[in-house]
Structure 1
Amino acid sequence: MAALATVNVAEHVLRGTFWLGPLAAVALLAFARWSGLSWSQLGLHPDRLRSGLRWGIGATAVIATAYLIGVFLPLTKPAFLDARYHLGVSGALFSAFVLIPTSTILLEEVAFRSVLWGMLARHATTWRALMVSSALFGLWHILPSLHLAAANHGIANAVRGAGSAANTLVVVGVVAFTALGGVVAGELRRRSGSLLASMGMHWATNGLGVLFGVLAWRLGH
């Protein structure tokens, strides 16, 4: 947890730390193996790859459908108007298929649904491992949420009128939402026995979010 906290702060304070995520993921896996966790306990056993792929594709399809509907509905469209993703097509593709998978998803899935999950499962039930890892996953997103209201039109509209409490509401909401997402991702990992399932859901949420964000900007307000 100390290592994760250090990485979390470094990624949001320092510049040019895109390499830190993959490096930390490899270090965490090396530590887990040195600690005696098997590939199966880490959700990385080859025998479960096919199952993980099936669940991951299914989750991606569900999220893609929800995004496709949401980007055209006036009520939900502002949520896709995020200034961080007001990109050109090439920038969006690079972000969705290179930057997000390597700098975000790889580290977060290895950290929370692989290594931390495996460590917790040694001393607790699967249910407790799911709840604790998901709660910590939510807390992991405190720093990224600090300036979210200024970047996202939908969130800005939701907290308009809240005054000085607006930023606190955004942070609490993001932590709760990502913790819930952690529960879903963890359940996918549990049911499939593979980290691929939760990675698929995670990529669909973030990567497709960028692509549909570009579509929303091109459709106009």
Structure 2
Amino acid sequence: MLAVVIAVLVAANLVNNWFAARAYLLTCVLASGVLLALARAAGLSWTDLGLGVDHLGGGLRWGAVAAAAVVAGYAAAAALPPTRRLLLDRRVADLNARDVLYRALVRVPLGTVLLEEIAFRGVLYGMVRREHGWIAGTAFSSLLFGLWHVLSSRALSARARRVPVALGAVAATAIAGAVLCELVRRSGSLLAPAGLHLATNSIGYVAAFAALRAAARSNRGSG
């Protein structure tokens, strides 16, 4: 069953990045449903998947604390010109305010976070953890989470630098995946990593957009 789960993820990744990017939300929702069905058919309980009702409270608390830390970090970075440059993201340069809000409030929570948390911290982590323990579950899930970002990392750099950028993206997201798995382990709920993931991506879009606008105003003022 694990091989089938991985095949579904490969298919979803290819659809989202190569074949039908405009169907991103639909693909993510459908893939999430298929993965949950496969996990349940394999014998995983809702608790195994981080979706047990008994752990919702703990998940909310952990997720809220993690999200608050992310917001504080972005605010601190935006407050100082030297660190504000770290928020600049070329992927946001061509977006208007409406596009940014759509990504922050719809695409990220209902697409990115939904699929990736169910897939990597729910199904994959749950399957491997049940058979081999949480360390193996974390390692396996995080490695695949890193590889998941190879295709999407193409947009981060010019063609000549795609290989080193892709390797960096794999390493960075694998480490992030391990942190997110630890949140599941400690809280017992997918709400914990989802809170951190959502804040990082959604607030990241808003912060990057604000930083780019501030930089543009500064350039006009100095010109």
The TM-score, its normalising length taken from structure 2, stands at 0.88
Identity of aligned residues (%): 43
Question: Greater relative contact order (Cα 8 A, min sep 6): structure 1 or 2?
Answer: 1
Q: In the alignment, does 2:157 pair up with 1:149?
A: yes
The equivalent of 1:135 in structure 2 is 143
Runs of 4+ in structure 1 off by over 3 angstroms are 72-76
Equivalences for residues 1-221 of structure 1 within 5 A: 1-15=6-20, 16-18=22-24, 19-86=26-93, 87-150=95-158, 164=160, 166-220=161-215
Q: CA deviation at 1:94?
A: 1.5
Q: CA deviation at 1:88?
A: 2.8
Instruction: Please tell me the residue identity of whatever aligns with 1:10.
Output: V
Q: CA deviation at 1:129?
A: 0.5
* Structure 1 unmatched runs, 5+: 151-162
The TM-score, its normalising length taken from structure 1, stands at 0.89
Q: Higher mean Cα deviation, 75-84 or 141-150?
A: 75-84
Q: CA deviation at 1:84?
A: 2.2
* Structure 2 unmatched runs, 5+: 1-5, 217-223
SS at match of 2:79: coil
Q: CA deviation at 1:75?
A: 3.9
Report the RMSD for the aligned CA atoms in angstroms. 1.6
For 1:123 and 1:93, how far apart are their aligned partners in 2? 41
